[in-house]
Structure 1
Amino acid sequence: MAEDDGREVESNDGHLDQMYTLDEALTVVGFGRFQVMVLLYAGFGSMAEAMEIMILSFVGPAVKSEWGLSSAQESLITTVVFAGMLIGAYSWGVISDTYGRRMLVGAGLGGGPVYTSWFLEFVPPQKRGIWMVIFSTFWSIGTILEASLAWIVMPRLSWRWLLALSSVPSFGALIFYGFAIESPRYLYMKGKMSDVHDMLRQMSAVNGKKLPAGLLVSDETPDPDEEYAPVEQTRLLSSEAKGDLLSKTGLSSVIMLFSTRLVKTTILIWIVYFGNAFAYYGIILLTSEISSGRSQCTSNTPNSGISKTDDTSLYRDVFVTSFAELPGLVLSAAIVDYIGRKRSLVLMYGLCFLFLLPLLTHQNEFVTTALLFGARMFIIGTFCVAGIYCPEIYPTAVRSTGSGVASAIGRIGGMISPIVAVQLVSGCNVTPAILFFELVIFLAGISSMLFPFETRGRKLIDTVD
């Protein structure tokens, strides 16, 4: 049991009762087998989402060659996927803040961001950084699996087989959907104390821990004149005020992101998410486009599509650069709780910028692959750290909305990225394409420096006020 912090409140019968908050209960329960099961489900869904996204870098060149598409039509394939994800990310975020995380966790590619909020709300405050990095590892595993699958399937079968086989993990996530449970913090904010206490009791039993004695109370500073309810009752302290927040749905939830307290953070996090998606998906597409087209560009002949002779180098290069995500995540895990979220973002944006810089001039295939390896290593790091910072900085009342809208803004970056990474590179305009990526990465790095506060070690907050 955690050490008693000495907080007491006078009950109706005149006795002094101990108090504890949800964060304190989660700290006592710790990260055990219960959280591992939540991690495995959320992580498996994230892995399936990564495979569905990664497939675009293989399908695009193959379809272009088979159907005789132009570079603009090829880039449109990726753009329409991100357009759908944009709608889903916003809609699912608002719905999950209104009706709960469990309902739409992982529903479609647009529901992917809900995984992050859902998993985060089961994790003790002191462990958030490292476990969110571990959660991000599942995404990287998905990209590696997709690159491996493409290397095996594409030369022997076709892109249609790759699409079919890549959908299998999504069906697996659907099978286990029935075992998903609601977020305790969402229930806590909504005032369903009986459900919260039952869930905490279940967590403690599975993890072999014992809950603190006393009353479960709000994270807010207690009012000495306020009455407190024991854990068996269903009323949460200050639940009337929090109920007002829950009634604000849809557009009202988005408007709350622009409150005096959140407006600066919202704008900056949008720039960061846009930069992450634009650069990350751009680097993936650059790997396939440069591998299949730069040799033609050096002879002043625009690339007309991927050929059989390009297959080996394309799949190899994408496979190799996919492994760059693992050291990127290891670095994130090492520094995110040591130097903090903001400094981690600035550092890794700077290193990604430096690795892309030599690509402004022509490099041989080995150097190009090595530079893209380094750039992808650091951009996945920024993706990971931003994914930790964004849910931490928003209150529970708008956490999924904030993360969902930020993810939707990121999808816009993903929609624009093919225009730069595919159309410009296919037209032998590699240098302007790299300049675009460098500019966006630079602006995202500056935005990271301007965030109002660091969230390392801070408790999650529930209300906007």
Structure 2
Amino acid sequence: MRTSLQRQQRGSLAFLIGCIVIFAGGALHLPMLVMAHEMGNRLVGMPMDQPMYAGMVLIALGVPLAIFGALSTRERVKELDSSVRFEISDETPLTARHYLVLAVLSVALVIDLMKPATLSFVLPGVRSEYGLDKATTAWLPFSALSGTTVGSFLWGWIADRYGRRISILLAAVLFVATSVCGAMPTFAWNLVMCFLMGCSAGGMLPVVYSLVAEFVPTKSRGLALVLVGGLGAVGGYLAASLAAQTLEPTYGWRVLWLLGVPTGLILLIFARIIPESPGFLHAKGRTDELDEMAKQYGIVQVPGHREAGGDASLATWLTWTLVLTALTWSTINFGLLLWLPSELAMRGYEAGTASGLLARSALFALPTIIVVSLLYSRWSSKWTLVVTMAVTVAGLVGTALPSEILANRTSLIVVMAVLLVGTNGMMVVLMPYVAESYATAVRGRATGLVAGSSKLGGVAIQVFAMGGLVPGLAIASWILIVPMLLAIILVGLLGHETRGVALEQSSA
């Protein structure tokens, strides 16, 4: 017991020192940023000064120290026991504690999803400052999205092995460390730092959905999952677009990456409010914490055995169907939507105007999250997913309209609102559906697989862009309609209903 306590104390000290070193390293990047602001917020061509080199060394030392400190306080779990079930009775009311955790997790998703959404708004500035063509510029989203793909797989594994809460804590630390991407004077260093930033951002999605599914009663689970996901998805895009519209004209595109410092601090401050997975606590023998969770959230272990599994081949087909759905979504989100600000800029729209148009479109999409939440929780989880996919197809048809129609601002806002409604609603529903469809023992990795797939299509798009093989907006839209229609058919045939079904029973 004493050895375990000493190990936790040493780990906590190492984590604290690592965080201090990271913040110090970030602060050493400020002098060059201040100098750049006085010269039009341009760092291209400026040699890295000694404080910046020292700051990068400190960050390189602080990150592994913080990771070591965090993980050393938790013994790795080889495998969670799938036969052990934890449930919350439907008679258990949602308390202020439940709502507080849901609010914190929603903020975590907003911060997390703001990272990839910001890519859309930095690309025009990056391309202009470094004098790049479109193919070369595509290396930036390629690096960032590759990082998020790796991060989704990695953090899903960490969540199942070391716990959900520790994963969020580490992601917050890396948010702060990689925010110095905005201070890199060369394009090559931007690529390196954006890859690392992507690794940190990619892990929040699977962990948050796993947690929400595990500590909300069955009757409220679907609504909570979709609301948290919806607020995170739309809020992340809206936060990115508003930040670009408000800050970029004065401080340049780099400030959008620097927002990782305050947002990472917010997550670190509220990390202690986030509960741990009950299955993980049981595997670790932390009965005192399980008892506390029973008091705070009503989570209790229930007797019984693991439900008999269904057709394994059907389950495999469903998994690949969800992967296809995520891949198609990511191709749309990180293909069409990622390059849209650049497309608008080439059509004569100024950067602030383009960001404003997308922000207004996102505002139109925001109320639909409430509708989707109610449909998912009160009507059908499976068919709500199908409906959002169909709306996405309608948005793709809209973007394929003749350029003369899209030249009108009102038409453009309507088309983009439909596409954002579909894509945001689709992702808002897809990840909760995945979280409800897999057992606790593999939930982190399963959601990580689909979350990683929700970035992988974007990686493929950037590869085509680097080769100059990306077609025009209309042609790309028609191409993407085909796999989306196929995914709709497969979900309709292979999907199962999770609404109102106990968590472990729906994943059997």
TM-score for both structures, normalised by structure 2: 0.70
Deviations 1:4-32 (A, max 9, x none): xxxxxxxxxxxxxxxx9732x44333321
Aligned partner of 1:285 in structure 2 is 338
Aligned partner of 2:430 in structure 1 is 386
1:346 partnered with 2:386: yes
Q: Could you tell me whether the CA contact under 8 Å between 2:498 and 2:506 is conserved in 1?
A: no
1:168 partnered with 2:262: yes
Q: Could you tell me whether the CA contact under 8 Å between 2:396 and 2:481 is conserved in 1?
A: yes
Alignment match of 2:473 (pick from 419, 422, 430): 430
CA positional deviation for 1:434: 1.5
Aligned partner of 2:78 in structure 1 is none
Shift of the 166–408 alpha-carbon distance from structure 1 to 2, 3 Å rule, reads same
- TM-align CA RMSD: 3.0
How many angstroms apart in 2 are the aligned matches of 1:268 and 1:47? 27
* Equivalences, count: 389
Q: Could you tell me whether the CA contact under 8 Å between 1:26 and 1:123 is conserved in 2?
A: no
Is there any run of 5+ residues in structure 2 with no aligned partner, and where? Answer: 1-83, 172-199
Deviations 1:291-314 (A, max 9, x none): 11245xxxxxxxxxxxxx622321
Return the letter of the residue paired with 1:121.
Answer: E
Q: Could you tell me whether the CA contact under 8 Å between 2:136 and 2:466 is conserved in 1?
A: no
CA positional deviation for 1:49: 0.9
Alignment match of 1:455 (pick from 498, 501, 506): 498
Shift of the 199–261 alpha-carbon distance from structure 1 to 2, 3 Å rule, reads farther
Q: Could you tell me whether the CA contact under 8 Å between 1:43 and 1:139 is conserved in 2?
A: no
1:134 partnered with 2:174: no
Alignment match of 1:121 (pick from 196, 208, 214): 214
Shift of the 287–422 alpha-carbon distance from structure 1 to 2, 3 Å rule, reads farther
CA positional deviation for 1:449: 1.2
Q: Could you tell me whether the CA contact under 8 Å between 1:52 and 1:167 is conserved in 2?
A: no
CA positional deviation for 1:150: 0.8
Return the letter of the residue paired with 1:387.
Answer: M
CA positional deviation for 1:85: 1.2
More deviation, 280-289/59-68: 280-289
Q: Which has the higher contact order (CA 8 A, sep 6+)?
A: 1
How many angstroms apart in 2 are the aligned matches of 1:269 and 1:284? 21
Alignment match of 1:69 (pick from 118, 127, 132): 132
Shift of the 353–80 alpha-carbon distance from structure 1 to 2, 3 Å rule, reads same
Q: Could you tell me whether the CA contact under 8 Å between 1:286 and 1:422 is conserved in 2?
A: no
Shift of the 343–181 alpha-carbon distance from structure 1 to 2, 3 Å rule, reads closer
More deviation, 95-104/440-449: 440-449
Aligned partner of 1:92 in structure 2 is 155
Q: Could you tell me whether the CA contact under 8 Å between 1:352 and 1:374 is conserved in 2?
A: yes
How many angstroms apart in 2 are the aligned matches of 1:421 and 1:323? 29
Alignment match of 1:395 (pick from 433, 439, 443): 439
How many angstroms apart in 1 are the aligned matches of 2:211 and 2:168? 7
Shift of the 262–218 alpha-carbon distance from structure 1 to 2, 3 Å rule, reads farther
Shift of the 337–40 alpha-carbon distance from structure 1 to 2, 3 Å rule, reads closer
Return the letter of the residue paired with 1:218.
Answer: P
Deviations 1:440-462 (A, max 9, x none): 32233223213341111111118
CA positional deviation for 1:189: 6.5
Shift of the 156–116 alpha-carbon distance from structure 1 to 2, 3 Å rule, reads same
- Aligned-residue sequence identity (percent) comes to 23
CA positional deviation for 1:135: 0.6
Aligned partner of 1:370 in structure 2 is 414
More deviation, 183-192/170-179: 183-192
Structure having the larger proportion of residues in helix: 2
CA positional deviation for 1:88: 1.3
SS in structure 2 opposite 1:314? helix
- Residues 103-118 of structure 1 mapped to structure 2, 5 A cutoff: 103-105=166-168, 107=171, 108-112=200-204, 113-118=206-211
CA positional deviation for 1:423: 8.2
SS in structure 1 opposite 2:444? helix
CA positional deviation for 1:173: 0.5
Aligned partner of 2:276 in structure 1 is 182
Deviations 1:40-66 (A, max 9, x none): 221121111122122101111111011
Q: Could you tell me whether the CA contact under 8 Å between 1:346 and 1:448 is conserved in 2?
A: yes
How many angstroms apart in 2 are the aligned matches of 1:185 and 1:325? 36
Aligned partner of 1:8 in structure 2 is none
Shift of the 216–354 alpha-carbon distance from structure 1 to 2, 3 Å rule, reads closer
How many angstroms apart in 1 are the aligned matches of 2:479 and 2:459? 14
SS in structure 2 opposite 1:349? helix
CA positional deviation for 1:119: 2.0
How many angstroms apart in 2 are the aligned matches of 1:369 and 1:386? 25
Q: Could you tell me whether the CA contact under 8 Å between 1:289 and 1:421 is conserved in 2?
A: no
Q: Could you tell me whether the CA contact under 8 Å between 1:92 and 1:104 is conserved in 2?
A: yes
How many angstroms apart in 2 are the aligned matches of 1:414 and 1:35? 35
Deviations 1:197-252 (A, max 9, x none): 33112335xxxxxx9xxx94334379xxxxxxxxxxxxxxxxxxxxxxxxxxxxxx
Return the letter of the residue paired with 1:441.
Answer: M
Return the letter of the residue paired with 1:340.
Answer: S
How many angstroms apart in 1 are the aligned matches of 2:282 and 2:91? 17
Is there any run of 5+ residues in structure 1 with no aligned partner, and where? Answer: 1-19, 205-210, 223-255, 296-308
Aligned partner of 1:330 in structure 2 is 370
Shift of the 323–95 alpha-carbon distance from structure 1 to 2, 3 Å rule, reads same
CA positional deviation for 1:387: 1.3
Return the letter of the residue paired with 1:160.
Answer: R
CA positional deviation for 1:464: 7.7
- Residues 258-297 of structure 1 mapped to structure 2, 5 A cutoff: 260=313, 262-294=315-347
